[in-house]
Structure 1
Amino acid sequence: MKESIHKYFRVGTIQWMSHPPVSYDLLDSIKTIACDDFFDALEVTQIKDDTLRAAAKNLLAQSHLKVCYGAQPRLLGTGLNPNDIDEEGRKKAEATLMEAVDEAEYLGAGGIAFLAGKWKPETKEQAYAQLLKTTRNVCGYAKTKGMTVETEVFDYDMDKAALIGPAPYAAQFAADMRTTCNNFGLLVDLSHFPTTYETSKFVIRTLRPYITHLHIGNAVVKEGCEAYGDMHPRFGFPNSANDTPELLDFFRVLKEEGFFDAENPYVLSLEVKPWGKEDGDIILANTKRAINRAWALLED
């Protein structure tokens, strides 16, 4: 493409993935990303310390970055399940998502994203009903603040084993949600397509009316190989499923399906993290090179 990717997308990254908190200081991470004008958006998550949260808010306010909020760690890190068939468990998950809406608002984000919880075949229909209840309640609360809610589509049997997807099931859920909540959408991630045994064309076309947010990344889906599952390794990682050709295909499908929107660009975030002792900043540069190459190969 002759035109810049930044014309059509707000290119972002996921702070806690790019700079895992075990190795990187939060404020240093936000400052590093905010000083890099390749990025138009930054996705942040729960900040438990009040002083640290206020400092993060101050940096984000200076940056002119679009701020997004991922509530996934609030669930993955605690075992809370928004589709828990135990009502008390479901309510606890709902409560943390309500808190996420408040924190997102404070940090300057326009909404939150989260994922469905684990499920069992014998209670799948009950779990689906519970997830609808949770998501509708959170959407209702978010709407009072003019905010949005997104469910990210994950694998259903490989690693996270979340209730939503694969893509056809995610489409059913989104359609049910949209009957009552017009502030709901889906977040789709290129790195999850191999984990749901689907292609970019199939996922994007199946979920076209409901997609409001995009992620790109990589995955290893060969059993027994290093970083197997939903681990988001760098592009070019051994035995992995996605690299520049798959990213180019993803861009082609997005272009064909009308996602290149200069007036209201979608957020397109990198969800790639360093593996082992890899350096987060080098992995960020790696991902930008893959994006730049795929974009350069995309036909006008």
Structure 2
Amino acid sequence: MQDDIHAYGRLGIVLSMAYPSCMRSEESYVQALKKVLVDPFFEVVELGSLPFASLKASVPLLVFSAHCSFIYSAHSLLFSRKLNINSLVEEERREAVSVLKAGLDEAYALGAEEFQFLSRQYETGKEDAYLEALITSTEEVCRYAASKGSMPVVLEVFDHTIDKKSLLGPASLVRRYAKRICALHPNFGIMIDCSHIPMIGETIDEAVDPVKDYIRHVHVGNTLISDPAHPSYGDMHPRFGYPGSENDTEYLSAFLQKMKDIGYLVPGGRNMLSFEVKPQASEDSDLVVANAKRTLLAAWRMVR
């Protein structure tokens, strides 16, 4: 495409992935956030629960002063407490839902545009039972979000067997889940991530076509799954073209082509496309972000 990709959607980035140093101190967090906000390439920044209480006043002011918006990811709330929203133990499931509701409170208080979460562990052979538990939890979260305002609720599809080992997961399960939730809750949608597709063992078409009607957010990134002993193995989001990894310019171009073909990226569109990339070992965050931007532009030029 010769058209500017910014004319087809809003570009964003996951802050704590691109700049892991932001979690060290309030000053480091603000410095990293400003690097994103002063860059006109980005219109959206994706944040988790703020790591320092003092940021609750400053972060929205910084984001809105830059004429940007931000997303609230609740993933860390579940990871940090090892909570499972699709647990078959009712007390554990309710605790996870309660934590997500508290996250929604924070997201609304901060002025976030969207709320994200993910499914968690499961036992092989019991996928149907875990799916029902996830549906119950999701409906509670969607109802709670709707009771407070109009913020969309989005579930991110992760790997199923390699790293996070989330229930969702394979496109067949995602479709069953999304079809039921979206039929009752218009504030709900699915997020797909092209870095997770190789980990699930699906092609782009296999991962996207069954769920294309439910996609509300898209991540782009990379993964390394060729060597389980490698320190970057799994859901580590190395830069595009990282040695031994799966995704580079041609793969990203094919994924962008698919997003255009299904109508997610359209002229004048405002759907979000966010980088989830992370420096490996001693790599420099700024260079990894530059890699992502450069690769995206090169991939977009190959789109028809």
TM over 0.5, shorter chain: yes
Residue deviations 1:92-119, cap 9 Å, x none? 1111111111211122212211110101
* Structure 1 unmatched ranges of 5 or more: none
| AA at the equivalent of 1:16 | S
Residue in structure 2 matching 1:139, options 137, 142, 153: 142
Counterpart check, 1:9 vs 2:13? no
Counterpart check, 1:91 vs 2:90? no
* Structure 2 unmatched ranges of 5 or more: none
| AA at the equivalent of 1:50 | A
Deviation at 1:249, TM superposition (A): 0.4
CA distance in 1, matches of 2:3, 2:33: 28
Residue in structure 2 matching 1:154, options 151, 154, 158: 158
Does 45-54 or 237-246 show the bigger shift?
45-54
User: In structure 1, the residue corresponding to 2:13 is in which secondary structure?
Assistant: strand
Counterpart check, 1:291 vs 2:300? no
| AA at the equivalent of 1:136 | E
Counterpart check, 1:32 vs 2:59? no
Deviation at 1:50, TM superposition (A): 2.5
Residue in structure 2 matching 1:221, options 199, 220, 225: 225
User: In structure 2, the residue corresponding to 1:47 is in which secondary structure?
Assistant: coil
Deviation at 1:23, TM superposition (A): 5.6
CA distance in 2, matches of 1:206, 1:54: 41
Residue in structure 2 matching 1:169, options 169, 173, 186: 173
Deviation at 1:18, TM superposition (A): 0.8
Deviation at 1:258, TM superposition (A): 1.5
CA distance in 2, matches of 1:4, 1:211: 22
| AA at the equivalent of 1:127 | Y
Does 200-209 or 35-44 show the bigger shift?
200-209
Does 157-166 or 59-68 show the bigger shift?
59-68
Alpha-carbon distance change, 122 to 295 in structure 1, aligned in 2, over 3 angstroms: closer
| AA at the equivalent of 1:228 | Y
User: In structure 2, the residue corresponding to 1:231 is in which secondary structure?
Assistant: coil
User: In structure 2, the residue corresponding to 1:209 is in which secondary structure?
Assistant: helix
Does 178-187 or 219-228 show the bigger shift?
219-228
Q: TM (normalized to structure 2)?
A: 0.94
1:127 is aligned to 130
Q: Is the 8 A contact 2:219 2:275 kept in 1?
A: yes
CA distance in 2, matches of 1:188, 1:45: 18
Coordinate RMSD, CA, aligned: 1.4
Q: Is the 8 A contact 1:113 1:151 kept in 2?
A: yes
Counterpart check, 1:195 vs 2:194? no
CA distance in 2, matches of 1:108, 1:261: 27
| AA at the equivalent of 1:77 | S
CA distance in 2, matches of 1:221, 1:49: 34
Does 177-186 or 43-52 show the bigger shift?
43-52
1:272 is aligned to 277
Does 12-21 or 22-31 show the bigger shift?
22-31
Q: Is the 8 A contact 2:9 2:268 kept in 1?
A: no
